[in-house]
Amino acid sequence: MRLVIQRVLKASVTVDQQIVGSINKGILAFLGIHAEDACPSVSYLIDKLIHLRIFSDDQGKMNRSLQDIKGEILVVSQFTLYANCSEGRRPSFTSAASFEKGKELYDRFVEDLRKIFPRVQTGIFGAAMQVALINDGPATFLIESK
């Protein structure tokens, strides 16, 4: 599993011209699921996501976590995080999980995250989504499961 996370001042996701999820200060998390991923990856990524110290303290150093600032999370599925662009001119998505497996692990990720961090919004898995954000920093990080 891969998470591309961006520190944001606000973010939203729209499907069919309707906002389906929006947050204020926090993290926009794009979640990619590999064909060989399994449930143990979920716990590892959730722990990293809510405890990674990427928010500034009073001295301007990245020393605070999402929990520390009482921020919010917007989770958006993104199978293209496993695109292979090394050959030809068209990306290959054979490394990405199937729709069924991807949805199962995405739903598990969101469900488990909400159990320990209640301020979670989401997009809609598999939908064509438009994401709007005000990046804070900008600060963008990649987290991969072991």
Residue 90 maps to which CATH number? 3.50.80.10
Residue 33 has what pLDDT? 96
- Active-site positions read 78-80
Q: Is residue 146 a part of any domain in this protein?
A: no
- Global pTM value: 0.95
Residue 25 lies in a domain: yes
- For residue 144, being part of any structural domain is answered with no
In a domain, 145, yes or no: no
Flag whether 103 is in a domain.
yes
Residue 146 has pLDDT above 90, yes or no: no
Residue 93 pLDDT > 80 = yes
Q: How many structural domains is the chain composed of? A: 1
Q: Give the C-alpha separation, 78 to 107, whole Å.
A: 13
Domain residue limits at 100: 2-138
Summary mean pLDDT of the chain: 96
pLDDT tens-digit series, residues 65-86: 999 999 999 999 999 999 999 9
